[in-house]
Structure 1
């Protein structure tokens, strides 16, 4: 490493433009995919680095940050940051950054895509054709849910929740939402959205429930057996937030018992592990955490994280770095 430049660790490969941008400023090391998901590996190798650009799967714990005696900033390649011990970072004077805003539209599109695929049974219909079973148009084949005049219940009405709501409104859906607080009147009016204070009541009133909330102590296993039992039997569940918002055992049982009609999941509690009962559940669309997977969005995520790193290492005032997290 060149001692005249700061040292940056990127925990696995990201878009080349981002890496090149950082290499103009610093010595950059890019880890192998999965290697720094091990806390032990990170502890053993973090000490020389001034900055860490990491994935949600990387455990940035108290022990990691104490081992990183030169660390000045940890930047997550994600909008979430539940993998980072933010309080410890604050106590050690380490800045923490995430990447809000840049993935909103991609995630809004993706949530709408999941809903369309799930409600119209696209995965099952395609497999039916590929298996050689398609013999011609069938009047009772793969009947699904029409979206117009159905209720979409959104849990977590932040940027992504609102982006999904705008798209669903274009399909004629009615918007219900549960959030830590009500939207401002103008935003609520723009979506013609109805606030539901109790998440269980939202479950009862929704034909589709979408999870777009952060993972906190209050949202951990929010969707449990009680929540699922309150959903109508024809209802669908979508999750692009965090896997642990759902009790996966309870969901698998609900799907196998046809207590709800289907689920589309982009995230899982113990990624990359998927609960085996979910793998065999009917009308279930399971995808490998790709909600933000567009060329433009992934590059924008990386550039926002990189610019936060460069700003902090250059001594820029925290108030001028909009994506820093305050403990």
Structure 2
């Protein structure tokens, strides 16, 4: 690499501590507004940068990558998921891609359990009642929810986050079950007291709660499709803190409206910020604005990982969190 500092373009506002450190290390172009870049702005950034630091809101497809300049050598994603980046095309053009895995595990697992409790104990309905001023005191039959102790939790995706959810669920007295591409090591199963299901269909049909914790890949798109959602018990609930595309949102909405599922807790959506308006009307659905990773500590740690990836690359080495197509 040349002795001059790398030109780095950041597509969104990042925590101040992260931006300050980037400014010290690189010739960095920061974003003045927190609005996502337009496609034209992204194309311009790809032409003038050595390193692009995008987020999940930036769709970097083959068409955009075709407009990249010769100097672009690294896309250092701010976030763990890279389904918004065409990693294969980037690789074919000699552009490395890195991400920030691991730092959001505990935060996201906390949010998954928060959604389980919020849906099963009807917390948003209670909050709305209090804020409306219509609460007139305790009643034996008011806002009855369900106990989670002793219930079966089915975890879809037993990676770092899935295992962290399992630890929390055990502390609440839930029975842990899981489906994964590959069975986890016996010692992990023993620690989590987790039961493996090779058949996702069979697991789904027997669970009280489903937690979606797998990434979005071509093989997981609509993994929870209409047919599989119909296998769930009508008393069951589903929560998703992973990627919205894993669930067929229209089918889920129809079933919730028809009373064929007891409830859902969603932090992510199939079409990003375009949320099915019918979901907003349902009292048995808890909707959050993609805040599973929204802790100050987590967002700063994400930035630190981005900086390490760029700095390692600048020093002539492979970024420690490089993503290759075979990983996806």
TM, length-normalised to structure 1: 0.95
How many residues are aligned here?
321
Does the alignment pair 1:178 with 2:176?
no
Would the alpha carbon gap of residues 45 and 74 (structure 1) be closer, same or farther in structure 2, given more than 3 Å must change? Answer: closer
Does the alignment pair 1:322 with 2:323?
no
Secondary structure of 1:307 counterpart: helix
Correspondence list, 1:200-279, <5 A: 200-279=201-280
C-alpha distance in 2, partners of 1:187/1:266?
A: 27
C-alpha distance in 1, partners of 2:247/2:193?
A: 27
C-alpha distance in 1, partners of 2:164/2:50?
A: 36
Correspondence list, 1:17-166, <5 A: 17-31=17-31, 32-36=33-37, 38-69=38-69, 70-166=71-167
Deviation at 1:116, TM superposition (A): 1.1
C-alpha distance in 1, partners of 2:200/2:9?
A: 41
Superposition CA RMSD, Å = 1.3
Deviations along 1:244-280, whole A, 9 cap, x unmatched? 1111111111111110111000001111110111111
Deviations along 1:81-123, whole A, 9 cap, x unmatched? 0011111111122111111111111111111111111111000
C-alpha distance in 2, partners of 1:18/1:128?
A: 40
Q: Verify the 8 A CA contact 2:148 2:174 in the aligned structure 1.
A: yes
Deviation at 1:281, TM superposition (A): 2.1
Q: Verify the 8 A CA contact 2:176 2:192 in the aligned structure 1.
A: yes
C-alpha distance in 1, partners of 2:63/2:17?
A: 31
Deviations along 1:184-239, whole A, 9 cap, x unmatched? 00001111111111212111111000000011122111112212211111111100
C-alpha distance in 1, partners of 2:316/2:237?
A: 49
Deviation at 1:130, TM superposition (A): 1.6
TM, length-normalised to structure 2: 0.95
C-alpha distance in 2, partners of 1:73/1:46?
A: 10
Does the alignment pair 1:5 with 2:5?
yes
Deviations along 1:156-188, whole A, 9 cap, x unmatched? 000000000000000110011010010000001
C-alpha distance in 2, partners of 1:7/1:107?
A: 32
Q: Verify the 8 A CA contact 2:36 2:57 in the aligned structure 1.
A: no
Q: Verify the 8 A CA contact 2:108 2:292 in the aligned structure 1.
A: yes
- 307-316 vs 206-215, which moves further: 307-316
C-alpha distance in 2, partners of 1:200/1:62?
A: 35
Deviation at 1:35, TM superposition (A): 3.5
Where does the alignment leave 5 or more consecutive residues of structure 1 unmatched? none
